[in-house]
Structure 1
Amino acid sequence: MKVLLTGANGYIGRRLKNALKNQKDVELRIFVRNKKSLSEDILKNFEVIEGDTFDRDALKKALDGIDMAYYLIHSLNKKNYKDLDNLSAQNFIDIASECGVKRVIYLGGLGVKNSDTSEHLLSRIQTGEILSSSDSVQSIWLRAGVIIGSGGASFEIIRNLVEKLPVMITPKWVNTYAQPIAVDDVINYLISSLYLEYDKNLVVDIGSQKMMYRDMMLQTAKALELKRYLIPVPFMSINFSSYWLNLFTPVPFIVAKALIEGLKCEVTVQNDNAKKYFPNIEPMNYIQAVQKAVSEIEENQVISRWSDAEGSSWEQTHAKEINDAIFVDRKEADISAYDKEKVFKAIKSIGGENGWFDYDFLWELRGIADKALGGVGLNRGRRDSCDLRLGECLDFWRVEDLKENERLLLFAQMKLPGHAWLEFKIEGDRLIQSAYFYPKGIWGRLYWYSLVPAHYFIFKNMINGILKNSLKNI
């Protein structure tokens, strides 16, 4: 069967892509914003179409001749994500109908549509309703609540709180019920949905045991062999809880707030269709899911993270601004006596637990300031201690461009009065390290000038640290 995968660079999409490419009876086509975000292996062996769901012509090209299509798209990081989600889903189902697609498989969220439903959950529900509105395209709408897996937003929030706080003052939402599910089980349901012999629209609620969020925290502590205490209080507002999560976990304020608003609503299974139509899938229990996620983190086997980018390239986003950057701090070094591959390997190891080669305390202070402003801070770290890939996050940076042994370009995702980039290039026998800043107004200019002294020490020592680190691997 011919299968289209959207959202292939997202948290679920990356894992599903790895599973689909091993299905011998599947002819896989991938729909992404930027081909460069995919590995050489994928580009060589699978058909890839560039575009997004707001480009109807690109959608027609992507859906032409397709039998089954996965819809794994969500615009949570955008301010008007609800409107964008609706438009995206409508475009997709319209074109799918025109192209004769037989089935659309959508992964949404558990939840009941009522006056208390959060905007985030409501958006997921409305997307499912739109995708199920066609008379000619069948939909299988899988609904999951809290997904437990390495790199997942929900799991990273719970894990960070449990690891960092022996005693937690908790708001009343910790007594809300949910039915978590392991990410591997979600992938299993998604794959099995391709082969389900059923010809009508179907909503399938998936999850393991029913439990409160406080139970998830305590069981996570048990899985991590930690002793933790929860003290519930009735007066913590959504904003306060969001700032609290922003401070102690990797998620930025806007994502934390959307998730917290959803926690006031129960996300529990409303039907028995999982057992009825997928009897061979037995979801693992919560402790098993946590232990597997932790094992993947410890063994550097994290396949995807919640913060993985949509796949846009720097040419599509800020190319003009970086070329017009008003402030540039550039350092160069002669690397004729160094192994260039090892120099680039050292460049790719920057950040996370590896640090920034010197003055790490200044980076940490900047991370704390960013968290205080509702930004991402340094908590995100790295997916892998050595490897990087296009679109993924590195502390409060995102990998915008990556050409092996030639160039690494990082875009700053911290709170700034402007846009900033950090670039490393190898040209001949020269290593060129450049920091670019495109300021917004007078505050942007004052910001840059205030950091000139710090930049002098940070960037000078950084390029020297890269060269020293490259020698450690010889």
Structure 2
Amino acid sequence: MRCLVTGATGYIGGRLVPRLLAEDHTVRCLARKAGRLRDVPWSADVEITEGDLSRPETLPAAFDGIEVAYYLVHSLGRADFEALDRAAATNFATAARAAGVRRIVYLGGPEPPADDRPSAHLRSRAEVARILLASGVPTAVLRAAIIIGSGSASFEMLRHLTERLPAMVTPRWVRNRIQPIAVRDVLHYLAGCAALPAEVNRAFDIAGPEVLTFGDMMQRYAAVAGLRRRIIVPVRPLTPSLSSYWVGLITPVPNAIARPLVESLIHEAVAHEHDIAAFVPDPAGGLTGFDRAVRLALTKVRDAQVETRWSTASGPDASAEPLPSDPKWSGGSVYTDLRERAVAAPPAALWQVIEGVGGEHGWYSFPLAWTVRGWLDRLIGGVGLRRGRRHPHRLYVGEALDFWRVEEIVPGELLRLRAEMRLPGRAWLEMRAVPAGDGHSRYLQRAVFLPRGLAGHAYWAAVAPFHAVVFGGMARNIARGAEQM
């Protein structure tokens, strides 16, 4: 089928596109600026059309020849987001009807109880659903609560609150029941809705297999992430408005986004039906449990961030990997120290120095600091520097190197080491030799630290002042060593 995806630069849209491509659909993406999709791994496999849902005159070309149109946009983060979303949905519906689109698919939010005063966020989501259902084009509205996956704003709030606060005073809504769903299952239903019968024009609840409270999710997240059980004390005075400022202070999620999301948490969000399964069968193996969804998000995104690459895979777990279009505040905390030096020597000479690191050769800077770090590691039960290296000039993947492990090596180009010293987190050190022409080269060095809990953030803050001496000196001396060969 010929599918149009709006919101392809967003969290869900950017992950739905490769799923649709894997199922042999032809995909067109509507974006205000095509350049925002330049670096995503699937950009060469789709048609990108520039247009703006707030400007109806830009839409006919995007909808021309389209059979299924996905509405995956919202204006959350703007003070007037309700009015903007209302206008965008109306323009989308009008353009879809005029172009003869056969199906609209919309991912919305949970339906709050009728006797509650819904938050502005849920009220707007419900209004968009009504507009699309009344468009004259058969529409499927999927109503999801919290989506578990790295990059989801709600998940990022959960992640950072849990990781950064071993003890917290919380609003009472942490006891409200929620039925979260893994992003891989959301994408399964979205893609499946492309083939719904023409007579289907309704909303469906989609949810994972477990009903939890927000407090339960924080405790379960902590267990999966290897953190101690969190101390959570719910209190009455923290209103949604006050708690949204608290979330904005503790997490990197912008307050303009955090506030409407937090206000939505005053409503319980439990699925009332599972009718979607009659049209789109559940994923093979069943719906993804909360713990597994968290584990996928943590493992996939952390490995990808360390390697600074984006997978082109289209399998069910690829949705957990990061995209260049994800917001900067998504993906968890990653601390980096980057160093670069021009080297007046060929890459081969530079690589010889890089591969000689550790053991008797040392670490090329501030020997006392490395020695003290090794002693401290042994005092707390770590391996210290005593392992050395097996060969004075050659390294191999998997071998020990002092208190590091060789994780990846591309001869002449790349050495990546994974830390095995005792740390409140995970750490890597990467060194590269890059040709620069005229017999010269560039040395690239990157240290990456993924903190675990508040102790991890405190550790990085404590050692960061010494990085200029340790890592800066290391880069200078490696470059100098290559030039003197």
- TM norm. shorter chain > 0.5: yes
Range 289-298 or range 175-184, more displaced: 289-298
Q: Does 1:156 align with 2:156?
A: yes
Confirm or deny: 8 A CA contact 1:10 1:305 kept in the other structure: no
Deviation of the 1:298 alpha carbon: 2.4
Change (3 A) 1:89 1:337: farther
Deviation of the 1:75 alpha carbon: 0.2
Distance 1:337 1:35 in 2: 40
Query: 1:396-411, aligned counterparts within 5 Å?
Result: none
Query: 1:118-267, aligned counterparts within 5 Å?
Result: 118-135=119-136, 137-208=137-208, 209-225=210-226, 226-267=228-269
Distance 1:469 1:245 in 2: 41
Q: Deviations over 1:328-351 (max 9, x none)?
A: xxxxx9979699xxxxxxxxxxxx
Deviation of the 1:54 alpha carbon: 1.3
Change (3 A) 1:64 1:241: same
Determine helix, strand or coil for the equivalent of 2:74: coil
Q: Deviations over 1:262-283 (max 9, x none)?
A: 1111122122213332233332
Distance 2:106 2:14 in 1: 15
> Letter of the aligned partner of 1:95 in structure 2?
A
Distance 2:107 2:325 in 1: 15
Partner residue, 1:19: 19
Change (3 A) 1:263 1:304: farther
Change (3 A) 1:469 1:122: farther
Deviation of the 1:77 alpha carbon: 1.5
Aligned pairs, how many?
Answer: 331
Partner residue, 1:288: 292
> Letter of the aligned partner of 1:299 in structure 2?
D
Distance 1:54 1:469 in 2: 53
Determine helix, strand or coil for the equivalent of 1:299: helix
Q: Deviations over 1:316-337 (max 9, x none)?
A: xxxxxxxxxxxxxxxxx99796
Please list every run of 5 or more consecutive structure 2 residues that lacks an aligned counterpart in the other structure: 306-320, 329-339, 347-467
Partner residue, 1:303: 322
Distance 2:64 2:325 in 1: 30
Confirm or deny: 8 A CA contact 2:103 2:198 kept in the other structure: no
Change (3 A) 1:23 1:32: same
Distance 1:145 1:337 in 2: 57
Confirm or deny: 8 A CA contact 2:241 2:263 kept in the other structure: no
Distance 1:251 1:83 in 2: 23
Partner residue, 2:32: 33
Q: Deviations over 1:280-305 (max 9, x none)?
A: 33321111111111112321263248
Deviation of the 1:56 alpha carbon: 1.4
Determine helix, strand or coil for the equivalent of 2:131: helix
Confirm or deny: 8 A CA contact 2:85 2:124 kept in the other structure: yes
Change (3 A) 1:31 1:277: same
Distance 2:9 2:476 in 1: 31
> Letter of the aligned partner of 1:142 in structure 2?
L
Partner residue, 1:275: 277
Distance 1:79 1:234 in 2: 27
Partner residue, 2:428: none
Range 232-241 or range 84-93, more displaced: 232-241
Deviation of the 1:51 alpha carbon: 1.2
Confirm or deny: 8 A CA contact 1:113 1:125 kept in the other structure: no
Change (3 A) 1:100 1:254: same
Distance 1:251 1:334 in 2: 34
Deviation of the 1:207 alpha carbon: 0.6
Change (3 A) 1:338 1:237: farther
Confirm or deny: 8 A CA contact 1:151 1:306 kept in the other structure: no
> Letter of the aligned partner of 2:37 in structure 1?
L
> Letter of the aligned partner of 1:233 in structure 2?
V
Partner residue, 1:322: none
Determine helix, strand or coil for the equivalent of 1:21: helix
Distance 2:134 2:35 in 1: 34
Please list every run of 5 or more consecutive structure 1 residues that lacks an aligned counterpart in the other structure: 310-332, 340-460
Deviation of the 1:4 alpha carbon: 0.5
Query: How large is the RMSD of aligned CA atoms in angstroms?
Result: 3.2
Confirm or deny: 8 A CA contact 1:15 1:303 kept in the other structure: no
Confirm or deny: 8 A CA contact 2:244 2:259 kept in the other structure: yes
Q: Deviations over 1:171-222 (max 9, x none)?
A: 1111111110001111111111112335220211111222211111111122
Query: 1:49-128, aligned counterparts within 5 Å?
Result: 49-112=49-112, 114=114, 115-128=116-129
Distance 2:261 2:100 in 1: 36
Query: 1:361-440, aligned counterparts within 5 Å?
Result: none
Change (3 A) 1:201 1:165: same
Confirm or deny: 8 A CA contact 2:341 2:476 kept in the other structure: no
Distance 1:236 1:305 in 2: 36
Confirm or deny: 8 A CA contact 1:206 1:269 kept in the other structure: yes
Deviation of the 1:81 alpha carbon: 0.3
Distance 2:287 2:167 in 1: 31
Deviation of the 1:142 alpha carbon: 0.6
Distance 1:195 1:61 in 2: 23
Determine helix, strand or coil for the equivalent of 1:77: coil
Q: Deviations over 1:227-286 (max 9, x none)?
A: 212111111122321121112111122212111111111122122213332233332111
> Letter of the aligned partner of 1:259 in structure 2?
L
> Letter of the aligned partner of 2:296 in structure 1?
K
Distance 1:44 1:212 in 2: 42
Distance 2:117 2:216 in 1: 23
Distance 2:103 2:131 in 1: 14
